[in-house]
Structure 1
């Protein structure tokens, strides 16, 4: 079927420009008067929605925005019926064929399948946005190795010194004799593992974080809106995409 007028699909409904129909029907009166005379029997936001369209302003290619309406196929069919000439009959028949094809069971099933595909794609995108948060915590729980403060600090985009000072500010640890110690409420949680090494002929205590401690820090810091860099990137991606 040859296209008589441009018809789009929005919100699972066939719609077109009232201006395009007005021009196709070759209405003699002004567009605004045609609208005032014929739109009273239709409901705004159900049969039609006000909008604008572009038109050429001069021979040099300039354009300007003019008033228009997005109307349903059903409304367009009735408007065509009101025009008692060959154009009105031709457009009415065209809209009837479009409605017949739109309501064909095969077309209904096809549209339903496309909607399901779109919903599945959207669900996958949403799951992908959520995945980095779960991945970071899952990585913590899956690992059994001990970690130095520098490594954990990098997850948060900080230096070891800045990260240690942050934990001090949050009353998680304190420094004594050049060594960091957990406050008593965290000491028995199995968050750290300490060992003694001889460096420059002097014994030195080396403290590393267990994965349980890393997970504990994650929860405590998140309660203060401090999250790993991977989750910060995820929030920015959602904002841009939204």
Structure 2
């Protein structure tokens, strides 16, 4: 039987391993229409419509034709309804078992493990995205003044957002929110980051610190301070929006 030479089983995302009625017909050296007729008789029995599923394929002329997809149980049920062909039957059942084992080995051992792996992946992706955005901000800050990097690191004129906020009689949280509303910065994973449009303007200087948690995991925290140029930028921006420092009120 030619079907034993090239055993063909497909993987269906919803059904798992399946074999087409066309492949079965070829392997048994039968006409496809006869195999379909036999399958339709089996489908008249109850509780088999999940084992033998009607599908379609395009023939050599591009026309849609009907076929059936047989799961392992559907294939076994069909073979029990015909005489002989034991070698063919055994070869295909072994192939089904082999593919099911391959699929099972790629899946987590339990639903709980699958959920845990998914959450871990999402957390890792979020952390990588955060670190990537922080690095973009740091690189953009360094690029326009790379030759002054050492002096910037020692620059005593850098100020925190809390120090600037005091000039306006507000808290650091309130100023951060105001700068967010004015499209200066956005918050990601609890950290404020500048929008890319002003990354390289020299308004801030940022450093990162790795924090180790009690459970042994680590995360990265960014410490951002504003330069005097950034302080002037905030002053002009707030002034345009009728927010003045206390000394000018």
- Band the TM-score falls in, shorter-chain normalisation: 0.3 to 0.5
TM-score (norm 2): 0.43
TM-score (norm 1): 0.44
